Amino acid sequence: MRVTVSVRAALAAVLAAGALSACGADEDRLQYATDYSHHEPLGVVGFPTSDSLQVTQKLVWRLADGRAGALESLAADPDDKGAQAEIEKTAQNWIQAYRKGAGGKVTAEFYDEGSVRQLVVVYFHDTAQIKAFLVLLTGRTGEVGWRVAMREPDPKEVSATPDWVPGTPGGLGSKTPL
């Protein structure tokens, strides 16, 4: 009898945990679908992974919506207390600089292969702005996932475009010249 109760308790715990994670996954999918339906589709050049594409798409949406807290949640190192102030300032700077452009037509070019990190260059067509950033596979407290390197607290740094970046997507065949 005692074994049966223990087995039942363990089974109930496993089922409850599964139901909770399924709810979280369903919520994430619903949020993604809602965001997708409320924004201009992202043009893509290069070879993103599904995860580097998804985090880039979310970044553009958060910029367009002006949601600093949601943008900060995409940062590669949000658990680093020393980095938190830089991340917050970077999110504010990026929104101020790119919000208008992120609300219109945007193309993201994914450079090189993306097994653990990928350089992304985003072209905001309506404002003729270009932003380069790195997405990377990183560990956070209790989870591993794709995040955005967000350490640009200086507004001048935010709007700087590397000199090698072409003026239009695909100009280098999605290969960095470095």
Specify if 171 maps to a domain: no
**Token representation of residue 33:** 């679908």
Residues 143 and 112 in one domain: yes
Residue 141 is predicted with a pLDDT of: 58
The pTM score is 0.79
Specify if 169 maps to a domain: no
β partners of residue 134: 119
Specify if 55 maps to a domain: yes
Residue 178 is predicted with a pLDDT of: 66
- Tens-digit pLDDT profile for the chain (178 aa)? 444 444 444 434 444 444 444 455 687 677 667 766 677 889 999 999 999 999 999 999 999 999 999 999 999 875 666 688 889 999 999 999 999 999 999 999 999 888 889 999 999 999 999 999 999 988 655 667 889 999 888 888 888 888 999 999 998 888 887 6
Residues 19 and 96 in one domain: no
CATH code for the domain in which residue 90 is found: 3.10.450.50
Residue 162 is predicted with a pLDDT of: 87
**Closest CA relative to residue 87, chosen from 104, 107, 108, 73:** 73
Residue 20 is predicted with a pLDDT of: 44
The sheet carrying 129-140 orders its strands as 42-46, 106-111, 117-124, 129-140, 143-148
Domain of 83 in residue numbering reads as 43-158
Residues 55 and 29 in one domain: no
**Token representation of residue 165:** 């970046």
Distance in angstroms (rounded) separating the CA atoms of residues 59 and 52: 11
